Structure 1
Amino acid sequence: MELGRDFIRALKQIEADKGLPLEVIISSIEAALVSAYKKYKGTNSNAEIELDSENGIIKIYEMMEVVDTVRNPAYEISLEEARSLGYDVDPGDIIKIEVSPRDFGRIAAQTARQVIMQRLKDAERQVIYNDFSAKIGEIVIGEPFKDEEGQVLIRIGSKVDAILPREERIPTETYRPGQRMKFYVLDVRKTSRGPRIVLSRSHPGLLKNLLEIEVPEIKEGVIEIKSIAREAGVRSKIAVTTLDPNVDPVGACIGARGSRIKAISDELAGERIDVIIWSSDPMTYIKNALSPAKVVKVEPRLDEDKAVNVYVRPDQLSLAIGKGGQNVRLAAKLTGWKIDIHVMEPDRLPTLQDLFEDIVKGELPKEWEIKE
């Protein structure tokens, strides 16, 4: 049976439009035609169909078992008939017999059309799944186009849709249709309706990837990101280090006049980003992590594992804690240590006010005591 070269040109057009390899399309059509042939025959025959992608010729074969006595003509052929057809076989062998059923071309076209389209759709979905599975942990660019029950639908390219769940949004951010944005590929799963691609704007991985884009030294491995703590859209802390004594890792991340870090902040709805030096010494690391607050002393707590008391001057207390406890919370998340902030009063000589308060309390110096 011949479909012709026009059919092959149509297949190649599908290949171009759908972005599917021609061999995937051919195998999908062959499987569809097998299904159509079985329906045409009215039996679950063991058929095999080959489609020549050069000239559009379809060959249909029935797989038959050679037997001495035929009991099921749909699957079996007698030894005598097989040998009369020119096959050198013995009982138990399987042979392929080419058949040319009357009117199958018309029936196949009617029956297989939907099956072919579904196979192509499945193959296209598989290509999308494979493509985005390889992109988990990377950045993609997309445009919001619909807010649906708390999750924003994102269009990536011309035909791939993904979702941005409420919990993966930046809380201070709005998503306008047509607005081009960067997203972190969080997860890709197969479903009956196609790949479910989940994106994020709040994941620390988005910040890490943006740093790699903006700071060549990170991409080249000169600077290493050790840890990231993030409260999306509000504030983040990043710990960096380098083995190159000639490189200032903090300065390189911030950029000239803050240009590099500002570009990242602008992409993340104005998120404030603190870059600090990582240290292998936990006490120094914790002290750095509380920047911009100036820490006087860090002491490990003996009664609790991975916990410290941090002492600051009174004027540094609010800075160390941060608005709503944000600074100390991010520092704890960044370092993996529990941090308790304490005020350290500066050493000073007693004032007249102190002496007066002691007198009122009855706490006089010994040399002032009245002896009888």
Structure 2
Amino acid sequence: MSKEMLNALDALEAEKGISKEIVIDALEAALVSAYKRHYGQAQNVEVEFDQKKGNIHVYAVKEVTEEVMDSQLEVSLKDALLINPAYELGDTIRFEVTPKDFGRIAAQTAKQVILQRVREAERTIIYNEFSEYEKDIMQGIVERQDKRYIYVNLGKIEAVLSKQDQMPNEFYQPHDRIKVYVSRVENTSKGPQVFVSRSHPDLLRRLFEQEVPEVYDGLVEIVSIAREAGDRSKVAVRSNDANIDAVGTCVGPKGQRVQAIVNELKGENMDIVEWNEDPAIFIANALNPAQVMDVIFDETNAKACTVVVPDYQLSLAIGKRGQNARLAAKLTNHKIDIKSESDMAEFYEKQAQKEAVVEEEVEELHDEAIVESDLTADEYETMAFEETETTETTDQEA
């Protein structure tokens, strides 16, 4: 058993990466519990595993005292001096109490400890490995599905793909190979749990990094992404090199690069627009393919604006079920109100009429105020004249 134990520990360390010392420490603690449980002993015991020979020894630890109150925990100084004259009060002495049949119990305990440690180590290794892939993209194979999840085999672990993380235009069959975005990795009591997604916006970012070397190298930067998975996405890019066209680089020759991403996402439409530090230009680019005539920002809210487009481009700017405008708003982080050129002209005309009416009312009020002011002045002047005459008459009579 001793050689088999040592060989098993060596193999465990080589194959699973589990330290031999960690297993031995756990084994010694488990053997202490096993000894107390099987032999009904409550005294302080220690188990020692010989790493060279593989032998297991059990020791009862007793304290040297003047008077023995508990023979299982204490030994008299007189008896201790017979063992070794150097012992003093307060010292501890180990007495070997290894039972003859303890080998069988040790073997069973060792098996349980090793299996437990193997499971724990494998969980830790898998968690550490896949936590490094968090926020990254991996390729897996669809295995099965139930009412809650689709289970994707990533090699050492089975990841889960929830309904909200699935693309509505996709149907998954067993043995299908799909690329998934590792959204999070959790270390639960049942082991590591990996959650993946096909609808996450960052899946698009990672696909661009795979297909466009300039994005991976940082020469072209993806500033923001607005995505309605399975239907349409908008990606804002900018170039960190004046000699590189960001949009053209991402599209690729004859659209090959972006087409590879579209194919991976089962035909999801892709708009790649150029980012600009001027919000008006960026918003106009984000509403592509519609033409924008003007962008008017709200004076009270810097994140709100009105976009003016030609009459014949209004439906194109808004998009099917408002999708183009909605994605542009997400992409630019602005509230966008789209109006046609004629609607805007009509709005300006009504606003001008209102201003003219207000001006007329103000002028009328001003004129009335002047008239009232003049009448009051005349009255004051008449009253002053009458008072003067009265005063003079009184002086003459006097």
2:157 is matched with which residue: 156, 160, 181?
Answer: 160
Partner of 1:181: 178
Of stretches 80-89 and 306-315 in structure 1, the one that deviates more from structure 2 is 80-89
Structure 2: gaps spanning 5 or more residues: 346-398
2:169 aligned with 1:172 = yes
Structure 1: gaps spanning 5 or more residues: 349-372
2:219 aligned with 1:226 = no
2:202 aligned with 1:205 = yes
TM-score w.r.t. the length of structure 1 is 0.82
Residue 208 (structure 1) shift: 1.2
8 A contact 1:32–1:116 mirrored in 2: no
Partner of 1:106: 104
Partner of 1:133: 131
Rate the CA distance shift 1:337–1:39 in 2: closer, same or farther, 3 A: same
Residue 244 (structure 1) shift: 0.8
Rate the CA distance shift 1:175–1:88 in 2: closer, same or farther, 3 A: farther
1:193 is matched with which residue: 176, 186, 190?
Answer: 190
8 A contact 2:297–2:305 mirrored in 1: yes
Distance 2:80 2:319 in 1: 88
SS in 2 for 1:295: coil
SS in 1 for 2:256: helix
Distance 1:347 1:310 in 2: 10
Residue 184 (structure 1) shift: 1.3
Rate the CA distance shift 1:337–1:102 in 2: closer, same or farther, 3 A: same
1:250 counterpart letter in structure 2: V
Residue 300 (structure 1) shift: 0.6
Rate the CA distance shift 1:308–1:40 in 2: closer, same or farther, 3 A: same
List per-residue Cα deviations over 1:122-159 (Å, max 9, x = no partner).
Answer: 222222222222322112222121112231112211x4
SS in 2 for 1:181: strand
2:117 aligned with 1:119 = yes
8 A contact 1:125–1:195 mirrored in 2: yes
1:283 is matched with which residue: 277, 280, 284?
Answer: 280
Partner of 2:351: none
Residue 120 (structure 1) shift: 2.2
Distance 2:279 2:73 in 1: 75
Higher-Rg structure is: 2
Residue 185 (structure 1) shift: 1.3
SS in 2 for 1:190: strand
8 A contact 1:170–1:233 mirrored in 2: yes
Question: Which structure has greater helix proportion?
Answer: 2
SS in 2 for 1:9: helix
Rate the CA distance shift 1:257–1:107 in 2: closer, same or farther, 3 A: same
2:132 counterpart letter in structure 1: A
Residue 274 (structure 1) shift: 1.5
8 A contact 2:46–2:60 mirrored in 1: yes
Partner of 1:352: none
SS in 2 for 1:187: strand
Residue 181 (structure 1) shift: 1.6
1:316 is matched with which residue: 289, 309, 313?
Answer: 313
1:330 is matched with which residue: 324, 327, 330?
Answer: 327
Residue 278 (structure 1) shift: 1.2
Partner of 2:30: 32
Rate the CA distance shift 1:294–1:55 in 2: closer, same or farther, 3 A: farther
1:58 is matched with which residue: 26, 40, 56?
Answer: 56
SS in 1 for 2:188: coil
8 A contact 1:164–1:199 mirrored in 2: yes
8 A contact 2:305–2:334 mirrored in 1: yes
Distance 1:258 1:167 in 2: 30
Distance 1:309 1:144 in 2: 46
Of stretches 174-183 and 84-93 in structure 1, the one that deviates more from structure 2 is 84-93
Superposed, 1:260-279 pairs within 5 Å as 260-279=257-276
Distance 1:52 1:268 in 2: 59
Distance 1:118 1:341 in 2: 64
8 A contact 1:36–1:112 mirrored in 2: no
8 A contact 2:35–2:41 mirrored in 1: no
8 A contact 1:25–1:120 mirrored in 2: no
Of stretches 277-286 and 125-134 in structure 1, the one that deviates more from structure 2 is 125-134
Distance 2:57 2:103 in 1: 11
Residue 294 (structure 1) shift: 1.4
List per-residue Cα deviations over 1:69-99 (Å, max 9, x = no partner).
Answer: 4444555455555555559565455666655
2:188 counterpart letter in structure 1: T
Q: Which has the higher contact order (CA 8 A, sep 6+)?
A: 1
Superposed CA RMSD: 2.9
1:7 counterpart letter in structure 2: M
Rate the CA distance shift 1:311–1:220 in 2: closer, same or farther, 3 A: same
Distance 1:44 1:319 in 2: 83
TM-score w.r.t. the length of structure 2 is 0.77
Distance 1:147 1:181 in 2: 14
Residue 202 (structure 1) shift: 0.9
Moved beyond 6 Å, runs of 4+: none
2:251 aligned with 1:254 = yes
Of stretches 112-121 and 330-339 in structure 1, the one that deviates more from structure 2 is 112-121
Distance 2:85 2:256 in 1: 79
